[in-house]
């Protein structure tokens, strides 16, 4: 079962449910009754606690649960040079619910001159005995979420220059994480799933995007960003259909983008959601090249606390192995448990039970 290099047979996407103590302290800071330093101390304590819990379960890679973030993506993106957060007219529309009305926009030249999440990683690394894993949004997210209208035309009259700067900035991001000791970095990405959704493609066309060109553009940006990574650094991606308060945004199987994503981008591994029929079948996995690349099957949902039937999960792994060699497969939850600080609709103990089940299942399948 043990792999010397991630992704591991039993792995995880990254975010974890925020504990009550952390939520309460963040609310106090927002109300002005506690200081940012108070919050920082609570974050440190709670991150140490969940690191221990992940290690006790038997995970070979642990994260900080994204406990220092409010959003899985905006908190990273708005700290890049040339990007700012702002209050939007409405939130992101999920099934029956909207997020808080926040977003990011590009107001200057995209660049990277340091980032607080480098220090977040250093803290994680210093407090674990196993592999520390860091998650950040893919560069494609900065473009697709707002599109052309959220990118200054004064700064970028032509988007070619925007994509060039974005790729160069992420190249520096990868280098900075490596120099901080990161050997397992993940680009979280909703965009590739949206490119499989007729509804999301329609909305993108309505806002003026030439969607047929986007897969090639995004692949080029990502490949440039990760091209210089050293041989001992693993970079994976997680393809997400939306995850907020146990709801979702898009649906559609991977077939439209599978060949470019699996064979055309130089990721080391792909965390793919397969917890519902909205993800389609395993047939698109046939495009994964034989060899070092891995597909991590997200067969365990994070959208409810009900434990899956283990026999059913094993049968689905066997089904996937018809298209990808079993040695190139692994198991994880379908997504994080709390892509935003609100979290999904299950308890912390249900979360830990799911992660423990994944470790046990992986031992049964690959042990």
| Interatomic CA distance for residues 134 and 13, integer angstroms | 10
- What is the residue-wise DSSP string for 244-273? BTTB------STTTHIIIIIHS--SEEEEE
- What is the residue-wise DSSP string for 47-116? HHHHHHHHHHHT-SEE--TTTT-SBSSHHHHTTSEEEEEEE-SS--EETTEE--SEEEEEEEEEE-S--H
pLDDT in the model for residue 248: 59
Maximum CA pair distance of the chain?
57
Provide the CATH number for the domain around residue 196.
3.20.20.210
Question: Is residue 167, in this structure, part of any structural domain at all?
Answer: yes
Please say whether the beta carbons of 124 and 51 come within 8 A. yes
Question: Is residue 3, in this structure, part of any structural domain at all?
Answer: no
Total structural domains within the chain: 1
CA dihedral sign of residues 108, 114, 118, 123: negative
Query: What range does the domain containing 39 cover?
Result: 20-366
109 — phi, psi (to 5°)?
Answer: -65, 130
Question: Is residue 320, in this structure, part of any structural domain at all?
Answer: yes
Q: pLDDT tens digits, the chain, 367 residues: what are they?
A: 578 899 999 999 999 999 999 999 999 999 999 999 999 999 999 999 999 999 999 999 999 999 999 988 999 999 999 999 999 877 767 677 777 779 999 999 999 999 999 999 999 999 999 999 999 999 999 998 788 999 999 999 999 999 999 999 999 999 999 999 999 999 999 999 999 999 889 888 988 899 999 999 999 999 999 999 999 999 999 999 887 667 757 889 999 999 999 999 999 999 999 998 888 999 999 999 999 999 999 999 999 999 999 999 999 999 999 999 999 999 999 999 998 898 899 999 999 999 999 999 999 999 8
Question: Is residue 306, in this structure, part of any structural domain at all?
Answer: yes
SS3 237: strand
CA dihedral sign of residues 93, 337, 21, 116: negative
Question: Is residue 13, in this structure, part of any structural domain at all?
Answer: no
> What's the predicted TM-score (pTM) here?
0.95
Q: Buried b / exposed e across 297-333, counting CB within 10 Å, b at 16+?
A: bbbbbbbebeebeeeebeebbeebbebbeeebbbbbb
Question: Is residue 254, in this structure, part of any structural domain at all?
Answer: yes
> What is the four-CA torsion angle of 207, 212, 217, 223, rounded to 10 degrees?
130
pLDDT in the model for residue 58: 97
| Interatomic CA distance for residues 149 and 208, integer angstroms | 9
CB atoms within 10 A of CB 30: 10
pLDDT in the model for residue 208: 87
Distances from the Cα of 184 to the Cαs of 5, 288, 354, in angstroms?
Answer: 9, 20, 22
Strand (E) or helix (H) holding 169: helix 159-179
- What is the residue-wise DSSP string for 23-54? HHHHHHHHHTSS-HHHHHHHHHHHHHHHHHHH
Kind of pairing, strands 93-94 and 97-98? antiparallel
Question: Is residue 6, in this structure, part of any structural domain at all?
Answer: no
Q: Is the peptide bond before 7 cis (omega within 30 degrees of 0)?
A: yes
- Residues facing 93 on adjacent strands: 98
- Chain centroid to Cα 150, Å, comes to 22
pLDDT in the model for residue 147: 87
pLDDT in the model for residue 1: 57
pLDDT in the model for residue 245: 67
| Interatomic CA distance for residues 184 and 124, integer angstroms | 12
pLDDT in the model for residue 300: 98
């Amino acid at each position: 079962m043990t792999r010397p290099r991630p992704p591991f047979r039993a792995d995880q996407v990254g975010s974890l449910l925020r504990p009550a103590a952390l939520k309460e302290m963040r609310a106090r800071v927002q109300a002005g009754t506690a200081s940012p330093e108070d919050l920082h101390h609570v974050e440190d304590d709670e991150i140490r606690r969940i690191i221990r819990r992940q290690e006790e379960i038997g995970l070979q890679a642990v994260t900080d649960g994204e406990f220092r973030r409010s959003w899985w993506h905006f908190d990273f993106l708005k700290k890049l040079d040339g990007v700012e957060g702002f209050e939007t007219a409405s939130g992101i529309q999920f099934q029956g619910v909207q997020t808080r009305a926040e977003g990011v926009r590009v107001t200057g030249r995209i660049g990277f001159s340091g980032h607080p999440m480098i220090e977040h990683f250093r803290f994680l690394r210093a407090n674990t005995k196993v592999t520390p894993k860091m998650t950040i949004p893919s560069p494609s997210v900065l473009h697709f979420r707002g599109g052309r209208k959220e990118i200054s035309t004064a700064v970028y009259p032509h988007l070619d220059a925007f994509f060039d700067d974005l790729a160069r900035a992420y190249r520096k991001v990868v280098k900075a994480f490596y120099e901080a000791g990161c050997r397992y970095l993940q680009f979280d990405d909703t965009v590739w799933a949206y490119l499989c959704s007729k509804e999301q493609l329609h909305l993108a066309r309505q806002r003026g995007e030439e969607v047929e060109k986007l897969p090639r553009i995004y692949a080029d940006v990502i490949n440039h960003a990760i091209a210089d990574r050293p041989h001992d650094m693993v970079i994976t991606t997680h393809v997400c259909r939306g995850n907020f308060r146990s709801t979702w945004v898009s649906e559609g199987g991977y077939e439209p983008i599978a060949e470019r994503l699996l064979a055309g981008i130089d990721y080391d591994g792909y965390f793919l959601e397969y917890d519902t029929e909205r993800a389609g079948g395993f047939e698109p996995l046939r495009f994964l090249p034989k060899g070092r690349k891995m597909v991590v099957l997200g067969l365990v949902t994070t959208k409810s606390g009900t434990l899956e039937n283990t026999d059913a999960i094993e049968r689905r792994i066997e089904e996937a192995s018809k298209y990808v060699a079993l040695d190139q497969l692994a198991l994880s939850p379908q997504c994080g448990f709390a892509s935003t600080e609100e979290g999904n609709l299950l308890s912390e103990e249900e979360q830990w039970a799911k992660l423990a089940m994944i470790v046990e299942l992986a031992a049964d399948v690959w042990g």
